[in-house]
Amino acid sequence: MRINLSPFNQLLDLLIPLRCIQCGTIVETQDGLCTACWPLIPFITKPFCACCGLPFDFEIEESALCGICSHKQPHYSTARSVFCYTTESKNLILKFKHTDSIGSAPLFAKWMARVIEDVDDPLCIPVPLHWTRLFMRTYNQAALLAREMATLKGWTYDPSLLIRQRRTASQGHFSKEKRRTNVRGAFKISDSKKPLLQERTVVLVDDVFTTGATLTACSKALLKAGAKEVHAVTLARVVRSRGLEI
């Protein structure tokens, strides 16, 4: 994951040393992590479910689906995540979510842009927060990631197309079924933006894929309002066999 530096960035590096986003050690490249922290982050690599991106523990053909997706295809066409949510990686998410450490957004967006499937000129849309929560938290981390991804890829970014129309309870300790009912019908498309969505491919961005309930509810609303297909991308993914549950 080497990134070529522009002369301007090389100059910046001389003036402000880059630090590992995990431990704070000074690093020499823009990869974001020091050599000690890098191997501790469980980046997701193939093989994984062709639809939801669930990593498999065994070699299998690329088109293989996991049990859940072969039982019932999700509303999104694909979902991809950068790393599994584990003790080591959760710090990156929590720092980004609950403090003002938003400087990592461009780096995270770069990682996310690498894992998404090839999509042609999509609308890039974040999973929205309800305005009351946005007011309390001051920023939507999914929107920061979506905006950075859109800038990086030259996509259209639209944070106001998808709306969270009712405040949902925090999904914290809900079961999979409870998460599904909690977000059912929680999202809608802004009436004035509906024409922009017709027959468009959407890249839907969130920070964490937990059970997929939120991404499913958003995808359902987007498809019903006229989107052609939805590709979801998140920074982290909860994988039961590989780490923490949230």
Query: Which residues sit at the interface with Zn ion, rule CB under 5 A?
Result: 20, 22-23, 25, 34, 37, 49, 51-52, 54, 66, 69
H/E stretch holding 50 reads none
Q: Minimum Å distance from CB 153 to Zn ion?
A: 25
Shortest distance (Å) from residue 212 CB to Zn ion: 9
Phi, psi of 242 (to 5 degrees): -115, 5
CB of 50 to Zn ion, least distance (A): 8
Compare residues 27 and 146 and give the one whose CB is closer to Zn ion. 27
Residue placing its CB nearer to Zn ion in the complex, 140 or 211? 211
Q: At 22, is the secondary structure helix, strand, or coil?
A: coil
Task: Write out the DSSP string of 85-129.
Answer: --HHHHHHHHHHHHSS-GGGHHHHHHHHHHHSPP-SS-EEEEPPP
Cβ of residue 28: shortest distance to Zn ion, in angstroms? 12
State the CB neighbour count (10 A cutoff) for residue 52: 23
Amino acid identity at 233: V
Q: What's the min distance (Å) between Cβ of 23 and Zn ion? A: 3
Name the residue nearer to Zn ion (CB basis): 13 or 153. Answer: 13
3-state secondary structure of 180: helix
DSSP state of 130: P
Of the pair 143, 236, the CB lying nearest Zn ion is at: 236
Rounded to the nearest angstrom, the gap between the alpha carbon of residue 88 and the centroid of all alpha carbons in its chain is 18
Residues contacting residue 139 through CB under 8 Å, at least 6 positions apart = 102
Compute the least distance from the CB of residue 116 to Zn ion, in Å: 16
Comparing CB distances to Zn ion, the nearer of 49 and 144 is: 49
- Name the residue nearer to Zn ion (CB basis): 25 or 29: 25
